């Protein structure tokens, strides 16, 4: 294949990655933005979403389309329920102390991962894509499902944007993010907003995961890479900023896809990690600065 | 009053080492090996405790310092034929240099940013062990040739020797912790942990103190990493993974942060908890996760920290 | 007294966004003085002393201390040169004993090289600082368990432990009872034998009773300066500050 088509293929692959990453990172960013906590278990929620999707599809045993749609509804709801439980039982009791929360969510990450290992097992299993259709380009054929993933991600993000800017719930979230004490004074149920945001963040990761299982198989350790990449996106994109997060996700997702096609993916990851660390070092007051002790 | 406390504490710590020395003659073989391993890992935890416990630097990247020592000793043995004594020195040097370099950058941040930055640097170091897989053999790792595992004529793979060397390492790290806790520097570190700004306004260069604490902590971790490689003969990427940054945090939390013996108590307990649980499930990290959540929720001062608060204020 | 300049500022300014909290202040402070810095809330008093102690960097201007330009020195280095600052909000190390708090303030000065100070000497120096503020009997109490008034005194003892040339006291009598204030005034007079004192204070009785000179800040600028009597008579000060 010539360079041009090869580059197009790499870009398409990157765009699929970026679409899923944007959803996942958006969840992490919302949680950080509103609650001022870093959820290390975010990748575990992603993995849980994928595994539940497989389980739903497998149990239902209906056609690919029906199974997939069922998974797309049930899996995020189930993951959201787990997140609400974690928020009630753990984070609230820690009073959302930033450092304790990190330690606790690391614990949560292990618990979810290990429970998945005990129940689902160590194997990787796929979900059949809902549509089996290839788009024939002049140089190569490309999976129609992957294009659908990009479209679905855009739709979900537009819905989130609409919800945040145009609804009462979105207003409450933004008020809480701006100043939780004042929000409380204006009779906004801050506790419930926190619970809701934490669940919603996890559900976004789960939606991303359901979209990805037909491409990448479900596995109990699959959450680690999305977690790391989401961190990178959230730090580069700016917190609580939807546009920044989405933009950073597109850039990182695309460049990750493109770079991994041309270079060693390990080197790309090393460089990305170091760049992110340096961003935090050079701008210590930048993104996480306001709530550091 | 103070000197009587000092004596009590000295007796306790010397006593612990004496008991550990005596145990080797009575323990069955299985626990004999385990205890040697626990003493080495507890030494790592004691190094971590200097940063996290005494100075309040919550690092999520100490695996990189441990791995720096492990790989410095392992790779130099593998490719340059350096034996144990040289390996241990290289381990200290590697941990020290890496901690000083990382500290200069990471200590410009505090709190959550510091946690993320150390996590990121450690992740880069972990990935580097794969990138240089030609030498490190990545996940699979490599075995240090047994003819190089000699220290002053002692063969380190021999169980009794291994136990003795592990105990010596443990005693050394215990002495360092004890000295730091009791020193005037230890008082400054505790002050930084409690109120950084106030400490600065007493004329202390807070950045420098934190850097020194992190460097001591990194050098100890590097030494322990090198010793681990030489004592158990295996070098692999697992030891650079995030898990090995979380373990010392967990051990120190469990035993009690900023207590000299806490890291040992925590390591011993967690080691056997995981060991027992792996008897009936492959998901033995479940215990680690539950312990982390339980400790941070209900028992943030750990075992010896709570004991010190309630019954033994003299405990260093 | 031989009036040597201990501290001076030239056109010292601090800009916070659109607000000029300290505006071109040129200020001279003589050795041996007890100087009070007064002014209405928001006049820039705390910002001004933060610039002196180096807790925040100035936007413009210079700070000269004991003949040395310290504008670019970090806070801890200024403390080492003899500028001590006691916090407005009490911030003793709550988890440590009163004795350890004072030891912390004294040990850096008494240390030689890499090794810490002689323990006996440190003990003596710290105890004498505690004696001067009347807390010697509470040396082993955990600072966090002390009463508010005692914590303020401990804060002063920590200032003494530094053996400063200039002791900046930021609203030291806030929240103290009348008896505690009387004790405090006597204490400041005693401290002034060996150190110069810059006092930010709202309590006018304390100011008039202690200060040799008073500097009045208003909206980031020096409005007036003079002896307590002069300030009391100053029309501009009355208008801006005393509200008369």
Residue range A20-39: mean pLDDT, rounded: 90
What would the mean pLDDT of B270-286 be, rounded to a whole number? 83
Which residues of chain A have a CB within 8 Å of the CB of B60?
A: 102
Task: Please name the chains neighbouring A, where neighbouring means 3+ C-beta pairs under 8 angstroms.
Answer: B
Is B124 in Cβ contact with A273 (below 8 Å)?
yes
pLDDT tens, residue by residue, B144-202: 888 888 778 787 788 888 999 999 999 999 999 999 988 888 999 999 998 898 999 99
CB contact under 8 A, B113 and A280: yes
Give the closest residue to B287 by CA, choosing from B277, B279, B297, B295.
B277
Nearest Cα residue in chain A from B128:
A270
> Cβ–Cβ of A102/B128 closer than 8 Å?
no
- The yes-or-no verdict on residue B116 having pLDDT over 70 is yes
The answer to whether the CB atoms of B112 and A98 lie below 8 A apart is yes
Of C79, C91, C117, the CB nearest to B184: C117
Q: Is the pLDDT of residue A292 over 60?
A: no
Q: What is the pLDDT of residue A289?
A: 34
pLDDT of B125 reads 94
Residues in CB range of B91: below 8 A, 6 or more apart: B68, B69, B70, B72, B73, B222, B223, B224, B225, B226, B227, B229
**What is the pLDDT confidence band of residue B1, given thresholds at 50, 70 and 90?**
very low
Kindly state the tokens that stand for B97: 């240099």
> Does A105 map to a domain?
yes
Cβ B285–A114 below 8 Å, yes or no?
yes
Interval B229-235 mean pLDDT? 90
pLDDT tens digits, residue range A210-228? 999 999 889 999 998 888 8
- Specify whether the backbone of B297 is left (phi greater than 0), alpha (psi in -120 to 50) or beta: alpha
Q: Which residue of B has its CA nearest to A99?
A: B112
Q: How many whole angstroms separate alpha carbon B71 and alpha carbon B64?
A: 10
Q: Do A104 and B288 touch (CB under 8 A)?
A: no
Q: Which residue has the higher pLDDT, A54 or A185?
A: A54
Shortest CA distance from C100: residue in chain B: B187
Mean local confidence (pLDDT), C177-205:
87
* CA B44 – CA A81 distance, rounded (Å): 39
Residues of B in contact with A112 (CB under 8 A): 289
Interatomic CA distance for residues B132 and B51, integer angstroms: 29
Size of interface B-C (CB pairs under 8 A): 66
Helix ranges restricted to H, C62-172: 75-81, 98-110, 119-133, 148-161
Q: Give ∠ CA A36-A41-A42 in degrees, rounded to 5.
A: 75
pLDDT of C244 reads: 43
Beta-carbon separation of B202 and C53 below 8 A: no
ipTM: 0.85
Instruction: Answer yes or no: do C75 and B199 touch at CB < 8 A.
Output: no
pLDDT digits (tens, 9 = 90+) for B30-88: 888 889 999 999 999 999 999 999 999 999 999 999 999 999 999 988 888 778 888 89
Q: Which residues in A have their CB inside 8 Å of a CB on B?
A: 38, 90, 93-94, 98-100, 102-104, 106-115, 117-118, 122, 228, 231, 235, 264, 266-267, 269-270, 273-274, 276-278, 280-281, 284, 287-289, 291-293
Q: Which two tokens stand for residue A59?
A: 């149990």
Q: Provide the percentage of residues in chain A whose pLDDT is more than 70.
A: 93
Q: List pLDDT tens digits, range A83-142.
A: 999 999 999 999 888 888 988 999 999 999 999 999 998 888 888 888 888 888 877 888
| Inside any domain, residue A243 | no
Inspect the interface and report whether the beta carbons of C76 and B197 lie closer than 8 Å: no
The beta-carbon neighbor of A284 closest among B108, B285, B286 is B108
Q: Do B202 and C108 touch (CB under 8 A)?
A: yes
Nearest C-alpha of chain C: how many angstroms from B198? 7
Contact at CB, C122 and B188, closer than 8 angstroms: no
* Residue of A103, A229, A286 best to disrupt the B interface, most CBs of B under 10 A: A103
Three-class SS of chain A: CCHHHHHHHHHHHHHHHHHHHHHHHHHHHHHHHHHCCCCCCHHHHHHHHHHHHHHHHHHHCCCHHHHHHHHHHHHHHHHHHHHHHHHHHHHCCCCCCHHHHHHHHHHHHHHHHHHHHHHCCCCCECCCCCCCCEEECCCCEEEHHHHHHHHHHHHHHHHHHHHHHHCHHHHHHHHHHHCHHHHHHCCCCHHHHHHHHHHHHHHHHHHHHHHHCCCCCECCCCCHHHHHHHHHHHHHHCCCCHHHHHHHHHHHHHHHHHHHHHCCHHHHHHHHHHHHHHHHHHCCCCCCHHHCC
Q: Using an 8 Å Cβ cutoff, are A252 and A233 in contact?
A: yes
Task: Over range C152-171, report the average pLDDT.
Answer: 89
| pLDDT at site A288 | 37
Q: List all residues of chain C from 71 to 90 with a beta carbon under 8 Å from chain B.
A: 74-77, 79-80, 84-85, 87
Nearest CB neighbour to A277, from listed B58, B120, B281: B120
Question: How far B301 CA lies from chain C's nearest CA (Å)?
Answer: 14
Which residues in chain B have Cβ-Cβ distances shorter than 8 Å to C53?
Answer: 201
Residues of B in contact with C100 (CB under 8 A): 187
What fold is seen in the domain B12-310?
ABC transporter involved in vitamin B12 uptake, BtuC (1.10.3470)
Give strand pairing partners of A211. Answer: none
Quote the DSSP letter at residue C5.
E
More reliable by pLDDT, A148 or B9: A148
Strand bridging mode C60-65 / C5-16:
antiparallel
Higher pLDDT, B156 or C196: C196
Burial class (CB in 10 A: 0-12, 13-18, 19+), C40: middle
What pLDDT, on a 0 to 100 scale, did the predictor assign at position A293? Answer: 28
Between chain A and chain B, the number of residue pairs with CB atoms below 8 A apart is 129
Cα A196 to Cα C208: distance, rounded to the nearest angstrom: 58
Residue A240: per-residue pLDDT: 60
Helix or strand or coil: residue C68? strand
* Domain of A115, in residue numbers: 18-222
Is A108–B124 a contact, with Cβ atoms under 8 angstroms apart? Answer: no
Which chain B residue has its CA at the smallest distance from C76's CA? B203
Write the residue in B111, B253, B291 that is nearest to A293 by C-beta. B111
Tokens of B53: 């416990």
Produce one character per residue of C122-147: b if its CB has 16 or more CB atoms within 10 Å, e if not: bbebbbebbebbebbebbeebbeebe
Average pLDDT of every residue of chain C: 86
Q: How many helices and strands (H and E) does chain C possess? A: 9, 10
The total domain count for chain A is 1
Q: Any residues with CB less than 8 A from the CB of A260 and at least 6 apart, and which?
A: A268
CB contact (8 A) between residue C162 and residue B205: no
Instruction: Provide CB contacts within 8 A for A95, sequence distance 6+.
Output: none
Dist CA C205 CA A13 (whole Å)? 76
B297-306 confidence digits (pLDDT tens): 888 888 888 8
SS3 of chain B: the string is CHHHHHHHHHHHHHHHHHHHHHHCCCCCHHHHHHHHHHHHHHHHHHHHHHHHHHHCCCCCCCHHHHHHHHHHHHHHHHHHCCCHHHHHHHHHHHHHHHHHHHHHHHCCCCHHHHHHHHHHHHHHHHHHHHHCHHHHCCCCCEECCHHHCEECCEECCCHHHHHHHHHHHHHHHHHHHHHHHHCHHHHHHHHHHHCHHHHHCCCCCHHHHHHHHHHHHHHHHHHHHHHHHHHHCEECHHHHCCHHHHHHHHHHHHHCCCCCCHHHHHHHHHHHHHHHHCCCCCCCHHHHHHHHHHHHHHCCCHHHHHHHHHCCCCCC
Q: Do chains A and C touch (3 or more CB pairs under 8 A)?
A: no
Average pLDDT in the C114-128 region? 84
DSSP classification of residue C239? I
* Shortest Cα distance, chain A CAs vs residue B206, angstroms: 15
B93-98: average pLDDT: 96
* Strand partners of residue B143: B234
Domain positions in chain B: 12-310
Chain A residues lying within 8 Å of B58, measured CB to CB: 99, 102
């Amino acid at each position: 294949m010539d360079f041009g088509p090869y580059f197009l293929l790499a870009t398409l692959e990157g765009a699929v990655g970026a679409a899923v990453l944007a959803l996942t990172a958006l969840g992490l960013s919302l949680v950080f933005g509103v609650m001022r906590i870093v959820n290390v278990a975010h990748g575990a929620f992603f993995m849980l979403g994928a595994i539940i999707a497989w389980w739903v599809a497998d149990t239902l045993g209906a056609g690919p389309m029906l199974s997939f749609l069922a998974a797309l509804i049930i899996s995020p709801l189930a993951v959201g329920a787990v997140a609400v439980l974690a928020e009630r039982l753990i984070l609230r009791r820690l009073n959302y102390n930033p450092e304790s929360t990190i330690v606790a969510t690391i614990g949560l990450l292990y618990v979810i991962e290990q429970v998945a290992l005990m129940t689902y097992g160590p194997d990787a299993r796929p979900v059949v894509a809902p549509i089996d259709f290839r788009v024939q380009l002049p140089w190569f054929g490309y999976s129609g499902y992957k294009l659908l993933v990009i479209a679905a991600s855009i739709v979900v993000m537009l819905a989130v944007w609409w919800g945040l800017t145009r609804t009462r719930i979105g207003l409450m979230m933004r008020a809480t993010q701006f100043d939780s004490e004042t929000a409380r004074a204006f009779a906004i149920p801050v506790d419930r907003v926190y619970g809701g945001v934490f669940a919603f963040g996890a559900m976004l990761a789960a939606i991303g995961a359901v979209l990805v299982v037909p491409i990448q198989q479900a596995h109990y350790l699959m959450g680690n890479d999305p977690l790391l990449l989401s961190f990178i996106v959230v730090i580069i994109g700016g917190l609580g900023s939807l546009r920044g997060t989405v933009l950073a996700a597109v850039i990182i997702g695309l460049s990750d896809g493109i770079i991994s096609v041309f270079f060693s993916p390990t080197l790309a990851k090393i460089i990305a990690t170091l760049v992110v660390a340096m961003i935090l070092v050079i701008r210590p007051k930048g993104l996480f600065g306001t709530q550091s002790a | 009053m103070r000197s009587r406390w000092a004596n009590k504490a000295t007796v306790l710590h010397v006593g612990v080492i004496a008991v550990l020395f005596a145990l080797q003659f009575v323990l069955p073989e299985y626990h004999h090996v385990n205890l040697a391993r626990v003493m080495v890992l507890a030494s790592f935890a004691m190094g971590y405790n200097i940063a996290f416990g005494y100075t309040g630097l919550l690092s999520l990247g100490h695996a990189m310092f441990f791995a720096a020592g492990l790989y410095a000793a392992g790779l130099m043995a593998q490719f340059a034929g350096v034996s144990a004594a040289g390996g241990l020195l290289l381990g200290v040097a590697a941990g020290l240099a890496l901690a000083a370099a990382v500290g200069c950058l990471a200590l410009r941040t505090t709190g959550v940013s510091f946690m993320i930055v150390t996590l990121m640097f450690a992740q880069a170091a972990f990935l580097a062990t794969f990138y240089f897989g030609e030498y490190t053999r990545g996940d699979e790792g490599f075995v240090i040739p047994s003819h190089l595992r000699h220290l002053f004529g002692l063969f380190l793979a021999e169980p009794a020797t291994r136990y003795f060397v592990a105990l010596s390492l443990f005693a050394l790290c215990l002495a360092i912790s004890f000295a730091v806790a009791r020193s005037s520097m230890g008082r400054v570190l505790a002050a930084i942990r409690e109120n950084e700004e106030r400490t600065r306004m007493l004329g202390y260069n807070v950045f420098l103190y934190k850097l020194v604490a992190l460097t001591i902590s990194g050098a100890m971790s590097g030494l322990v990493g090198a010793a681990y490689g030489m004592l158990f003969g295996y070098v692999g990427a697992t030891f650079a993974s995030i898990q090995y940054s979380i373990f010392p945090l967990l051990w120190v939390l469990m035993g009690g942060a900023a207590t000299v013996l806490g890291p040992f108590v925590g390591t011993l307990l967690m080691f056997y908890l995981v060991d027992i649980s792996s008897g009936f499930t492959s998901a033995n990290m479940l215990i680690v996760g539950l312990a982390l959540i339980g400790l941070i929720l209900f028992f943030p001062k750990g075992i010896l920290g709570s004991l010190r608060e309630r019954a033994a204020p003299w405990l260093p | 007294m031989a009036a040597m300049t201990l501290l001076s500022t030239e056109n010292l300014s601090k800009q916070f966004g659109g607000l000029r909290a300290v505006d071109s202040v040129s200020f001279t402070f003589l050795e041996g003085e007890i100087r009070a810095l007064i002014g209405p809330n928001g006049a820039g008093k705390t910002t001004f002393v933060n610039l002196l102690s180096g807790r925040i960097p100035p936007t413009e201007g210079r700070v000269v201390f004991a003949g040395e330009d310290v504008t670019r020195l970090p806070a801890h280095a200024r403390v080492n040169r003899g500028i001590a600052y006691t916090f407005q909000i009490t911030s003793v190390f709550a988890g440590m004993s009163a004795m350890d708090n004072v030891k912390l303030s004294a040990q850096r000065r008494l240390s030689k090289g890499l090794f810490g100070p002689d323990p006996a000497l440190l003990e003596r120096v710290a105890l004498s600082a505690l004696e001067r503020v009347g807390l010697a009997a509470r040396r082993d109490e955990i600072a966090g368990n002390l009463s508010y008034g005692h914590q303020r005194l401990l804060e002063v003892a920590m200032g003494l432990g530094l053996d400063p040339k200039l002791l900046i006291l930021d609203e030291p009598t806030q929240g103290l009872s009348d008896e505690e204030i009387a004790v405090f005034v006597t204490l400041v007079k005693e401290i002034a034998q060996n150190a110069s004192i810059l006092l930010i204070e709202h309590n006018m009785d304390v100011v008039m009773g202690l200060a040799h000179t008073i500097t009045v800040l208003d909206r980031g600028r020096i409005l007036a300066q003079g002896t307590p009597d002069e300030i009391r008579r100053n029309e501009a000060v009355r208008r801006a500050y005393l509200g008369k």
